[in-house]
């Protein structure tokens, strides 16, 4: 199944075919695209245990987790389809002058063919038929998926299902293209192809940033929406710690080791004030972690990465071991571990703020409240920041709370950041380096917005307008009769 090399001509052909798939989707209105998306959901839903078995073999993820993720993926298509159907993302606008001489209408249309790089840690929900593909098709964009090498067969099975749904709908297969290659070159050349208009990526900072730079340095730059992970700081504040130090240890450990720590929302760094409560919390961590068996990671490369990064962090000055899980640290299984450092060492060593993708935690102890703020200030953009806090804590830490809003996409009051709801009000994104565009989310129906651009129509006869803008369209959301028309005109 693996392709060694792709010629420039072959890549050009793929891009051209995808462009023709885009043209087809552009003829469909929101309602028709929603129908197609529901058909894709139906096809994926009937994939049976054979798919789960293949995914299990390729990713080493637990059966229950895979079944849940597959269900979530189907749900994602349906939710996004329903959102698209409402016309919400068309954002249709209509301005008519008092004398009827000027008629301006605007709506959002798809950007063009989108290249999607699937994530290794979500073979269904963030890969071939995952949220990026669903939101791009919802926006009316054709998709080229560059299969993740960690689950090529799973990817192929999902791609076949999408193609079957396209056939049932009567859509050309070029609406969705699945490509497999064993070097970075294929993906890089696709990102650079002039017919490609946007890119979606979930994975490492190195990969996401490399593809983002490629997108920006094209003669015609394009948006590259890369989600590149986070350390998801957890601020365990004093009043909360006094009340919950011991029970909180259990909650923190279960989130840290969930899915062998292979979640972009893994709570990798916890910040707390030094003292008796932190001591109690660390005792709790020790006993909780001692029960955690070593587990298999997604693939050998991720394990090697984990072991290397964890070793690098633990070898830094001022870093001490707090607790380890069962097993040893140099096997084919990942051993969970939690270390500690002080705010002084942390603030003087950027290495300590880097993500260690896997079941690895670092506690940063601070000697006073001001240091909590200094530590938060040292972090780059994050997907999430959690306040393990009481209301009293927040009242006395307003500055910390305000600054956190500048630093992340999702702020949690208590609870743990792992587990991302596929809802309208979710924000799965954050300031760089968590993502390359903090204005957008890659989870929830609003993910569709990434692949749209506004177009205005001035004085066009009704027949030629897109369905979303026609007079008779009930989806039209704003009909503004502009009383100040002439005053608002500018010459540009």
d(CA 220, CA 197): 9
From 84-92, 114-122, 280-288, 334-342, give the range in contact with ligand NAP by CB under 6 A.
114-122
Residue 210 engages ligand NAP in binding (rule: CB under 6 A): yes
From 112-120, 338-346, 367-375, 462-470, give the range in contact with ligand NAP by CB under 6 A.
112-120
Residue 310 engages ligand NAP in binding (rule: CB under 6 A): no
Residue 303 tokens, joined: 């394990």
Buried b or exposed e, range 255-278, using 16+ CB within 10 angstroms: bbbbbbbbbbbbbbbbbbbbeebb
Residues in the chain: 492
Residue 119 engages ligand NAP in binding (rule: CB under 6 A): yes
Pairing of strands 478-482, 143-146: unpaired
- The distance of closest approach from Cβ of residue 211 to ligand NAP in the complex, given in angstroms and rounded to an integer, is 6
By the 8 A CB rule, do 410 and 426 touch?
yes
Residue 131 engages ligand NAP in binding (rule: CB under 6 A): no
User: Which segments within 371-483 are labelled E, that is strand?
Assistant: 382-388, 408-413, 452-458, 478-482
From 29-37, 73-81, 144-152, 359-367, give the range in contact with ligand NAP by CB under 6 A.
144-152
- Among 26, 67, 156, 188, contact with ligand NAP (rule: CB under 6 A): 188
Residue 148 engages ligand NAP in binding (rule: CB under 6 A): yes
From 7-15, 226-234, 423-431, 452-460, give the range in contact with ligand NAP by CB under 6 A.
226-234
- The distance of closest approach from Cβ of residue 112 to ligand NAP in the complex, given in angstroms and rounded to an integer, is 20
d(CA 167, CA 6): 27
Q: Which is nearer to ligand NAP, 41 or 191 (CB)?
A: 191
DSSP state string for 78-101:
HHHHHHHHTTGGG--EEEEETTS-
Residue 146 engages ligand NAP in binding (rule: CB under 6 A): yes
Q: Which is nearer to ligand NAP, 187 or 215 (CB)?
A: 187
Nearest 5°: the CA angle 47, 49, 54 is 95
Which residues are registered as beta bridge partners of 321?
339
x/- map, 243-282, ligand NAP, by CB under 6 A: ---------------------x------------------
Catalytic residue (choose from 141, 264, 366, 408): 264
By the 8 A CB rule, do 242 and 449 touch?
no
Residue 174 engages ligand NAP in binding (rule: CB under 6 A): no
Helices 131-138 + 30-45 axis angle, to 10: 150
Residue 11 tokens, joined: 């890549």
Pairing of strands 452-458, 103-110: antiparallel
Residue 357 engages ligand NAP in binding (rule: CB under 6 A): yes
Q: Which is nearer to ligand NAP, 127 or 343 (CB)?
A: 127
- The distance of closest approach from Cβ of residue 486 to ligand NAP in the complex, given in angstroms and rounded to an integer, is 51
- The distance of closest approach from Cβ of residue 203 to ligand NAP in the complex, given in angstroms and rounded to an integer, is 3
Helices 152-169 + 30-45 axis angle, to 10: 130
Contact set for ligand NAP, span 5-44 (CB under 6 A): none
Q: Which is nearer to ligand NAP, 176 or 240 (CB)?
A: 176
- Among 87, 130, 131, 203, contact with ligand NAP (rule: CB under 6 A): 203
Active site residue 58: no
x/- map, 409-438, ligand NAP, by CB under 6 A: ------------------------------
Residue 202 engages ligand NAP in binding (rule: CB under 6 A): yes
Catalytic residue (choose from 227, 288, 340, 355): 227
Active site residue 264: yes
Which residues are registered as beta bridge partners of 199?
115, 224
DSSP H helical ranges for 348-407? 369-378, 391-395, 398-407
Sheet holding 408-413, edge to edge: 320-324, 337-342, 360-366, 269-273, 234-236, 382-388, 408-413
From 77-85, 202-210, 277-285, 400-408, give the range in contact with ligand NAP by CB under 6 A.
202-210
Residue 229 engages ligand NAP in binding (rule: CB under 6 A): yes
Query: Peptide bond preceding 433: is omega within 30 degrees of 0, i.e. cis?
Result: yes
- Among 6, 80, 107, 117, contact with ligand NAP (rule: CB under 6 A): 117
By the 8 A CB rule, do 400 and 373 touch?
yes
**In sequence order, what are the residues at sequence separation of 6 or more whose Cβ sits closer than 8 angstroms to the Cβ of residue 125?**
69, 72, 73, 76, 131
Question: Which residues are at the interface with ligand NAP (CB under 6 A)?
Answer: 117, 119-121, 146, 148-149, 183-184, 187-188, 202-204, 207, 210-211, 227-229, 264, 302, 305, 357
Active-site residues, by number, are 227, 264
């Amino acid at each position: 199944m693996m392709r060694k090399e792709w010629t420039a001509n072959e890549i050009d052909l793929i891009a051209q075919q995808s462009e023709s798939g885009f043209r087809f989707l552009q003829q469909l209105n929101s309602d028709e695209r929603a129908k197609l998306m529901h058909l894709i959901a139906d096809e994926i839903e009937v994939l049976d245990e054979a798919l789960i078995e293949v995914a299990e073999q390729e990713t080493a993820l637990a059966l229950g987790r895979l079944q849940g993720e597959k269900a979530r993926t189907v749900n994602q298509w349906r939710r996004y389809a329903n959102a698209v159907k409402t016309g919400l993302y068309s954002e249709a606008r209509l301005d008519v002058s008092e004398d009827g001489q000027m008629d301006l209408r605007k709506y959002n249309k798809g950007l063009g063919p989108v290249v999607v790089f699937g994530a290794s840690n979500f073979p269904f929900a963030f890969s071939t038929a995952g949220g990026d593909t669903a939101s791009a098709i919802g926006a009316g964009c054709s998709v080229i998926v560059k299969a993740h090498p960690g689950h090529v067969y799973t990817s192929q099975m999902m791609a076949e299902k999408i193609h079957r749904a396209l056939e049932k709908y009567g859509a050309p297969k070029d609406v969705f293209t699945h490509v497999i290659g064993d070097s970075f070159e294929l993906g890089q050349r696709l990102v650079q192809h002039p017919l490609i208009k946007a890119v979606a990526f979930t994975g490492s900072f190195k990969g996401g940033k490399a593809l983002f730079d490629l997108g920006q340095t094209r003669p015609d730059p394009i948006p590259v929406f890369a989600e590149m992970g986070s350390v998801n700081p957890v601020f365990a504040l004093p009043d909360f710690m006094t009340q919950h130090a011991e029970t909180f240890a259990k909650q923190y450990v279960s989130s840290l080791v969930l899915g062998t720590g292979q979640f972009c929302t893994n709570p990798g760094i916890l910040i707390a004030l030094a003292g008796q409560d932190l001591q109690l919390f660390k005792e709790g961590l020790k006993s909780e972690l001692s029960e955690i068996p070593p587990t298999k990671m997604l693939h050998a490369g991720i394990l090697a990465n984990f072991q290397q990064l964890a070793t690098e962090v633990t070898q830094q000055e001022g870093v001490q071991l707090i607790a380890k899980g069962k097993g040893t640290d140099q096997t084919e299984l990942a051993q969970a571990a939690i270390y500690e450092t002080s705010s002084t060492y942390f603030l003087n060593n950027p290495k300590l703020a880097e993500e260690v993708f896997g079941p690895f935690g670092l506690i940063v102890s601070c000697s006073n409240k001001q240091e909590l703020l200094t530590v938060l200030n040292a972090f780059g953009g994050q997907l999430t920041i959690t306040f393990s806090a009481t209301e009293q804590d927040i009242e006395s830490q307003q500055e910390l709370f305000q600054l956190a809003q500048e630093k992340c996409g999702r702020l949690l009051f208590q609870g743990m950041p792992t587990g991302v709801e596929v809802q309208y009000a979710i924000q799965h994104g954050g300031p760089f380096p968590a993502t390359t565009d903090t204005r957008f989310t890659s989870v929830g129906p609003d993910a569709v917005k990434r692949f749209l651009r506004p177009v205005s129509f001035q004085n066009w006869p009704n027949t030629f307008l897109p369905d979303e803008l026609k007079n008779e369209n009930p989806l039209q959301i704003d009909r503004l009769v502009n009383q100040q028309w002439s005053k608002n005109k500018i010459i540009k």
